[in-house]
Amino acid sequence: MNGSAQAALHEQAAVATRGQFGREVFVRAVVEVSNFCRENCAYCGMRRDNRTLARYRANHEQLADLLVHHRPASVTDVNIQAGEDPVAVREVVLPLIRTLRRETPLGVSVCLGTLSRELYVKLQSAGATIYIIKFEIDDAASYEKLEAPGTLSERLDHIHSLAGSGWNVSSGFIVGLPGQGPSDLAASLKLAGTLPLRGCSVSPFIPGEATPLAGEVVANTNWTLNCIAALRLMRPDWVIPAVSALNLADKDGYRRGLRAGANLVTMNLTPDDLRGDYVIYKRKRFIMTEERVLDAITAEGLSPSRRSLAEHYRNGVTHPAATGVMTMAVA
């Protein structure tokens, strides 16, 4: 779907977003605390078989100083992200969360992969309230072929367990993986709608350097945007991010994501000396700085939310899970 039909779909999604959230967009920062990863996902540049990276674990005191004393005024939440690295969780993430809870009002999200129940409990006790864990693709055989973490069934079990233990869970999936068609994307949308989520992302496939999929083509941006719009119409109450990879897929992709129903933006605060080796896709990244994030919000006639995402989840209304999906809207 493109042209006037796509424009109408995206406007319908934007209207649904404004009806639920007004014109406010949540503004989050991300710090990428470790690029060690024990997994070997075929689509990710941080896979354990990639020997081209200088592996690092950040210093939590450095990150704490940055976030406590030097964060941009528009930031209400921070997402602490890493490869699947339990050592970094213990040595960097947990002390960082404790400092942030003690010294800032920031809401804390974590995106740390599939961990043990013990670590989930410790992260929650430290003060994190949002767990981001993506299912990536709805088909178990494709999930296994892509060497995604564990099995799809295990991943979904973790999503249900996290939600059942009080976490606000956000998930997500990839659009444009080799061999995917509209029916596959509709199936991912349908799966997302059955999960106990508070938000969901849609990421365009970008061929990662030093991965088995390096020679494949970039995802069709329209498919990605149409999935964002379909998610919004399925679940008007969800928080849906505009992911930075949209600007790798299309020069105006980020702003188009906001037009299609996204209502969360993320600026990157990872220190410059570490950022170059946090390679999900390519070393040449499109870094969403504060200026770029705020310019995109303003250009779309939106404004930064003064309320944190964590506060929204504490006070927001939860709607029943969707039972249908607009298959024809995807492509």
pLDDT of residue 168: 98
Closest by alpha carbon to 247, among 236, 239, 255? 255
pTM, rounded to two decimals:
0.95
- Cα dist from 10 to 18, 128, 139, 206, whole Å: 12, 33, 27, 23
Other residues' Cβ atoms within 10 Å of the Cβ of residue 279: 22
Please report, as a single letter, which amino acid is at residue 175.
V
pLDDT of residue 251: 77
Instruction: Give mean pLDDT in consecutive 10-residue pieces for the chain, a chain of 331 residues.
Output: 87 97 97 98 96 95 97 97 98 98 98 98 98 97 97 98 98 96 96 98 94 95 96 97 86 90 96 92 82 95 96 73 50 64
What's the CATH number for 3-317?
Answer: 3.20.20.70
Which ranges of 127-275 would DSSP assign to H, the alpha helix?
Answer: 140-145, 152-164, 182-194, 221-234, 246-249, 253-259, 272-275
pLDDT of residue 28: 97
Q: How far is residue 224's CA from residue 209's CA, in Å, rounded to a whole number? A: 21
